[in-house]
Amino acid sequence: MYEIGYKAPKEKHGRFAEDKNVQETFKKRCKLLFDLLGAVTNKKVLDLGAGACDYSIEFAKMGADVTAIDLSKDRMEFGLKQFPDVTVKCHESSMENLPVKDKFDIILIFNSFRYVENKEKVISEIKRVSRKGTKIILIEQNPTGAGRLKASKEEQQKWFKPVIFDKNFSKIYSTTYFNYHNKVPKKIIEVLNKFRLFGLFGNEYLCIYKVKE
């Protein structure tokens, strides 16, 4: 169902979306991320499947040293052109073969992991460019099919398995909080989080992993 190797067009969405809900979600995500991460000044950040660099730009504005990777250079440049004072290093590349040698403090994979054919390769690349304590932040569509997109059982397995069951990573935070239309009562979300049943109702979920110390 998802197009492997999907290369996004450069038209507006995310920060530049016409849909106010999407814009609001973007702002909420940024706030939550920076609340969770604390200061990111001088942190080395890698944004995988960066799209129009929406998040790369926010991290760079907060003083991080950001590298963005996407299959579409056009799309990264489209976003960066709106922020001429912000510096983000861009590479047109698949995240299956990262054109970098450095180690990063924070790695973002926002709504791009599902498009990759060889997910195990991405995980091994992430390990290569991580050090102990690196934080990996994954935002993905809800694979249980309750959201906008529905995934088959097979697709759910493909998304989850390589990330969640890898013993080298410990999950330090997870939530379902991106319910665009606030249909899910807060109480239910709290219960879901408590039992780690995230992703059942909201249409996106967020996990933060940390490479074990």
Ligand X SMILES: C[S@@+](CC[C@H](N)C(=O)[O-])C[C@H]1O[C@@H](n2cnc3c(N)ncnc32)[C@H](O)[C@@H]1O
What does the binding site for ligand X look like in residue numbers (CB under 6 A)?
A: 5-8, 14, 49-51, 54, 69-72, 75, 94-96, 110-112, 115-116
The nearest distance, CB 191 to ligand X, in angstroms, is 28
Q: Which residue is nearest to ligand X (CB)?
A: 51
DSSP line for 135-152: EEEEEEE-TTS-SSS---
Q: Toward ligand X, which CB reaches closer, 2 or 160?
A: 2
Nearer to ligand X, 30 or 50 (CB): 50
Nearer to ligand X, 96 or 166 (CB): 96
User: 90-98 long-range contacts, Cβ below 8 Å, gap at least 24?
Assistant: 90/50, 90/53, 91/67, 93/69, 95/48, 95/49, 95/69, 95/122, 95/125, 96/121, 96/122, 96/125, 97/121, 97/125, 98/46, 98/69, 98/125, 98/128, 98/129
Minimum CB separation of residue 132 from ligand X in Å reads 25
CB of 89 to ligand X, least distance (A): 15
d(CA 185, CA 86): 38
Residue 50 CB, nearest approach to ligand X (Å): 6
Closer of 43 and 75 to ligand X (Cβ)? 75
